[in-house]
Structure 1
Amino acid sequence: MSNIQLIIEERAADIGKFLVGRLLPFRQKRMIGPFIYLDHMGPVKLNKRDQMDILPHPHIGLSTLTFLFEGSIMHRDTLGNAVEIQPGAVNWMTAGKGIVHSERTPDHLRNENKIMHGLQIWVALPKDLEQIDPEFFHIEAQQLPSWEEDGLQFKLVAGEVLGHRSPVPVYSPLYMLEIKSTKRQTVNLEGKLFGESGLYILEGGIESEENRFGPKQILVAKNATLCEFTIEANSTVYIFGGDAFPEERFIDWNFVATSKDLIQEAKQKWIAQEFDKIPGDEEEFVPYPTFPKK
């Protein structure tokens, strides 16, 4: 019997000047554990005239996780943080009751050709923490637990699993695990995962129950504790998930909450421009989108 509950294909989504591959949410699977949103950005080639300029925009009720494979992003937020994120590092921003941030091409790269490639992820907060004060943490690549086992290279981006714990300060039981292979072999994680689990194939491929799956797909497990598959040579996959929340989460634009009232309050506050401003990035902002009537 197959342990694969659902196969999610990457879908194009417009985030302004960029098209990204959206993987979550999906109509048949809104969340995997606490993970509520996953975009694969790029790889996008930018010339000297093209920049990544995602203007100031708000969030509530979640943590964002930015993880780059190539390129560089300058993060600024209303807490006063101004941090350049580079490949392999983790930006972990907890919105809580509300934060505004921008993501731009750093000044030193604006007159160069460049590539943008990475993952943008939202992790919902537990109900009792969704209105906490906002926080921001930057974890350098060398701080993430990395190890080799049975010819596989592991890196724990966030959470706790397989006897390792990432320094990323998460708020509920979860994991985001990178696995790289140099040869074809079996990966057996039976009994080592928990909660709900998804497997995202970045490059290469895997085989499960005599079926092959390639890049830009998420496989959702029926039972996370029965995770076993064959990974092809020169492949990179991400296994992510954790304990699901008992309450439903509502999403409206950049807002996530257990209550539609909280979302409506944040929406009106943003329209009135009552959120705090970002020091050094105060002139522009992303307006609340107006959706055409059906």
Structure 2
Amino acid sequence: MSNIQLIIEEKAADIGNFLVGRLLPFKEKRAVGPFVFIDHMGPAKLKDYQNLDVPPHPHIGLSTLTYLFEGAIMHRDSLGTELEIQPGAVNWMTAGKGVVHSERTPEYLRTTDKSLHGLQIWVALPKNLENCEPSFTHVEAKEIPNWKQDKVYFKLIAGEAFGRTSPVPVHSPLYFIEIKSNEKASLNIGKELYGDVAMYILEGSISNDGNRYENKQILIAKESSLCAFEMAENTTLYLFGGEAFPEEHFIYWNFVHTDKNVIEKAKEDWKAQRFPKVPNETQWVPLPEVKGFK
């Protein structure tokens, strides 16, 4: 059986103060189900004078999901949220008609050596919710469904799969799953999945149909029902996917929407600083000069 439709290598992208690995979108694959953007941050070792500082920037038409393996990020947004995210927890922010947020190293870590490693994800909203009121939800690590099946450890970080539901309040049928194994293991989990599905190998490797795939590769499946593979020892991977939307979603910078006119208005509103402000923040990220839509 060969179920691999497309193999994508992690691609370096500059977010200002360090490089991240861009997992999605790519020219060959603009979205997987409702997932339209994924960055792999780190692993980065930051000195006592190095910090993550992403000043206030806007979003529309999407939800953001932040999931850390190491380190900490202080999230502040225009809803008044000020909350630190720790490894294993989930920050889920739904932008809807518009929200602004910043991401920075917490104050108590700014003068010490530190690590930062995790995933930042954008999930497009269904057409009927693109202009909803913005909201923010934090889910602690202990609330994330996790279980062991044979030799393999699972976490359902968001969505529904395996007869379980994550408490992260998603807006369409999707799943974001962590799978770990310290030993070699064979999995056939296609019957648990639906819609589009992609696999990101964080560490270790997997084998499928006699081929071996290493870390920092993304594998796009032809069909979710055929998702079967072998994991090498000490492997960690992430499955993400779900039902694709019937409408095309356009991306310009941090804006996602089915209507390009709404994105154009968001661009002008940000340039004129008509978006809501983040309390206790005075900086802001200028609108970049980007040609066209993704």
TM-score (norm. length: structure 2) = 0.98
User: Is residue 2:169 matched to residue 1:169?
Assistant: yes
Q: What is the CA–CA distance in structure 1 between the aligned matches of 2:291 and 2:167, rounded to whole Å?
A: 43
Aligned-pair CA distance for 1:263: 0.3
Q: Which amino acid in 2 is paired with 1:52?
A: L
Alignment-derived partner of residue 284 in structure 1: 283
Provide structure 1 residue ranges, at least 5 long, that are not aligned to the other structure.
Answer: none
Alignment-derived partner of residue 251 in structure 2: 251
Question: Do 2:77 and 2:278's aligned partners in 1 also have CA atoms closer than 8 Å?
Answer: yes
Q: What is the CA–CA distance in structure 1 between the aligned matches of 2:230 and 2:144, rounded to whole Å?
A: 25
Aligned-pair CA distance for 1:280: 1.3
Q: Which amino acid in 2 is paired with 1:18?
A: F
Q: Which amino acid in 2 is paired with 1:68?
A: L
Q: What is the CA–CA distance in structure 1 between the aligned matches of 2:60 and 2:93, rounded to whole Å?
A: 11
Alignment-derived partner of residue 187 in structure 2: 187
Q: Which amino acid in 2 is paired with 1:90?
A: V
1:57-68 alignment to 2 at 5 Å? 57-68=57-68
Q: What is the CA–CA distance in structure 2 between the aligned matches of 1:66 and 1:234, rounded to whole Å?
A: 24
Aligned-pair CA distance for 1:3: 0.8
RMSD over equivalenced CA pairs, Å: 1.0
User: Is residue 2:272 matched to residue 1:272?
Assistant: yes
1:213-241 alpha-carbon deviations (Å, 9 max, x no partner): 11111100000011000001111011110
1:191 match: secondary structure: helix
Aligned-pair CA distance for 1:291: 4.2
Alignment-derived partner of residue 153 in structure 2: 153
Question: Do 2:253 and 2:290's aligned partners in 1 also have CA atoms closer than 8 Å?
Answer: no
1:266 match: secondary structure: helix
Alignment-derived partner of residue 133 in structure 2: 133
User: Is residue 2:96 matched to residue 1:96?
Assistant: yes
User: Is residue 2:24 matched to residue 1:2?
Assistant: no
Q: What is the CA–CA distance in structure 2 between the aligned matches of 1:122 and 1:19, rounded to whole Å?
A: 18
Q: What is the CA–CA distance in structure 2 between the aligned matches of 1:192 and 1:225, rounded to whole Å?
A: 8
Q: What is the CA–CA distance in structure 2 between the aligned matches of 1:290 and 1:256, rounded to whole Å?
A: 16
1:114-163 alpha-carbon deviations (Å, 9 max, x no partner): 01100000000000100000000000000000100111100000000001
Q: What is the CA–CA distance in structure 2 between the aligned matches of 1:45 and 1:150, rounded to whole Å?
A: 35
Aligned-pair CA distance for 1:190: 2.5
2:191 match: secondary structure: coil
1:246 match: secondary structure: coil
Q: What is the CA–CA distance in structure 2 between the aligned matches of 1:62 and 1:178, rounded to whole Å?
A: 22
Question: Do 2:90 and 2:139's aligned partners in 1 also have CA atoms closer than 8 Å?
Answer: yes
Q: Which amino acid in 2 is paired with 1:284?
A: Q
Q: Which amino acid in 1 is paired with 2:289?
A: T
Alignment-derived partner of residue 210 in structure 1: 210
Aligned-pair CA distance for 1:292: 8.0
* Number of residue pairs matched by the alignment: 292
Q: Which amino acid in 1 is paired with 2:226?
A: L
Alignment-derived partner of residue 240 in structure 1: 240
Identity over aligned pairs, percent: 60
2:286 match: secondary structure: coil
Aligned-pair CA distance for 1:185: 1.3
Aligned-pair CA distance for 1:76: 0.1
Q: What is the CA–CA distance in structure 2 between the aligned matches of 1:83 and 1:163, rounded to whole Å?
A: 31
1:10-38 alpha-carbon deviations (Å, 9 max, x no partner): 00111111211001001011000000001
1:161-220 alpha-carbon deviations (Å, 9 max, x no partner): 001110000000000011000110101103211000001100001000111111111100
1:158 match: secondary structure: strand
Deviates further, 262-271 or 1-10: 1-10
Q: What is the CA–CA distance in structure 1 between the aligned matches of 2:180 and 2:143, rounded to whole Å?
A: 18
The 1:291–1:240 alpha-carbon spacing in structure 2 relative to 1, beyond 3 Å, is closer
2:264 match: secondary structure: helix
Alignment-derived partner of residue 114 in structure 1: 114
Provide structure 2 residue ranges, at least 5 long, that are not aligned to the other structure.
Answer: none
Alignment-derived partner of residue 223 in structure 2: 223
Q: What is the CA–CA distance in structure 2 between the aligned matches of 1:291 and 1:182, rounded to whole Å?
A: 44
1:12-27 alignment to 2 at 5 Å? 12-27=12-27
